[in-house]
Amino acid sequence: MGWIPKWLRNWIKRLTSQQHQSSGSGTVHVGQVSGSVHSVTQVHHHFYGDSPTAASVARNKASQVPAVVTAAQRDVLALMDQLDKPARIKVLEFMRREFGTGMVIELQPDQVFRVRRYVETIIARRGSACDDPTKRRERNGPPNGT
C-alpha cells in the first residue's frame, strides 16, 4: 500500500473511533443464544456535515486575502514571468508544499522573501547553464545538427 495523506488518515481514524460504540442509539448486541447464533455485530457509518466544504474553504480564504498586492509580491510575480512553464510549476509546487498555497497574494512577507530567493536561484542556475557552452550543447543538442 502506498503513502496515505495525513488528512485522510485522520479522517479514517475519526470514522473508526465512531464504529466501536458499545452503547447508545443504533447499536445492536446479541450474546450467546440457544441455537446457532453466537454473536452479531452491526456497524453503521454516519457522515456528518461537520467538515467544511470546498466552497466554504474557498470563501474563507478569499475573505483573508489582502485587497492590495504588495511591491514584493509584484516583484516575485515579475520574476516568475521570466521562467518557462515547467519552472513556474516547480515554484508553485514549492509554495504549496511549504506554505499551503499556490497564490503569491496569500503569502506573508517572510514567505514572499523565501519564494523570491527560490525563483532567483532558479534564474541564476539557468543563466549559468547558458553561459557554459557544454551545458548549452547538452540542452540544445550537438552544434550543426551532428
CA separation for the pair 22, 25 (Å, rounded): 10
The share of the chain scoring above pLDDT 70, in percent, equals 51
Q: Is the pLDDT of residue 10 over 70?
A: yes
Top pLDDT among 146 and 57 is at 57
The share of the chain scoring above pLDDT 90, in percent, equals 35
Q: Is the pLDDT of residue 136 over 50?
A: no
∠ CA 99-83-118, nearest 5°, is 40
Amino acid 79: pLDDT: 93
Residue 18: how many CB atoms within 10 A of its CB?
A: 13
CA separation for the pair 5, 138 (Å, rounded): 38
Q: Are 109 and 70 within 8 A, CB to CB?
A: yes
- The pTM of the full predicted model, rounded to 2 decimals, is 0.46
Least confident of 50-64, 93-107, 122-136: 50-64
Q: Are 107 and 99 within 8 A, CB to CB?
A: yes
Dump pLDDT digits (tens) for 62-109: 566 556 889 999 999 999 999 999 999 999 999 999 999 999 999 999
Considering the chain, what is the average pLDDT of its residues?
A: 74
Amino acid 137: pLDDT: 46
Top pLDDT among 53 and 134 is at 53
